[in-house]
Amino acid sequence: MKPPTLSIGQITTSLERLYVQTIPDTYRDENNHMNIRWYLAIFDEAAYPLFDQFGLAPAAMHTVGAGTFDLEHHLHYLNEVGIGDTIAVYHRVVGRSSKRVHYLSFMVNETRGNLAAIWEVVNSYIDLTVRKTAPYPPDVVAKIDAILAQHTALDWDAPICGVMRA
């Protein structure tokens, strides 16, 4: 699947830059670029600031016996990332149900000026006391919905894979 053409400007001017990292030498693989395993690690780490905006910071959730679990991922590699490159991650929320959020993360290679990868995720709120999905608390719903409304109003289509839903 080839995502629609997105300009870096569409991403960087309409979404918030929530994570930045310069790729260290320890991420190098035998092809002399960032190894595939680090894409998921970076996207996972970059999701924490987004979830903080939702009111789902891990420390606060654990005090009420809650958490989140990723249920599904789609990772689309578009351009290689080299050692020493600086990448930034931007997120776009594309849907929500009572228990799940569907979002995209865009890895922008600031050094090379291109879109390196897109990570699509469905994540669920979890009641850790019974380890089952549960509805979001009302304050979290309000925060997610506010971000979703901003992202829904963007003038460019989210390049979703088409098989994932919140």
pLDDT digit string, tens, across residues 105-158: 999 999 999 999 999 999 999 999 999 999 999 999 999 999 999 999 999 999
Task: Give the gyration radius of the chain's Cα atoms.
Answer: 16
- pLDDT digits 0-9 by tens, 20-77: 999 999 999 999 999 999 999 999 999 999 999 999 998 888 888 999 999 999 999 9
What are the structural domain ranges in the chain? 8-152
3-state secondary structure of 28: strand
For 160, the enclosing helix (H) or strand (E) is none
How far is CA 113 from each of CA 79, 87, 104, 108, 158, rounded to the nearest angstrom? 10, 10, 19, 7, 20
Q: Which of 88, 73, 96 is nearest to 143 (CA)?
A: 96
Residues whose CB is less than 8 angstroms from the CB of residue 106 and which lie 6 or more positions away in sequence, other chains included? 6, 11, 15, 89, 90, 91, 92, 115, 117, 118
Phi, psi of 102 (to 5 degrees): -115, 125
Q: Which fold has domain 8-152?
A: Thiol Ester Dehydrase; Chain A (3.10.129)
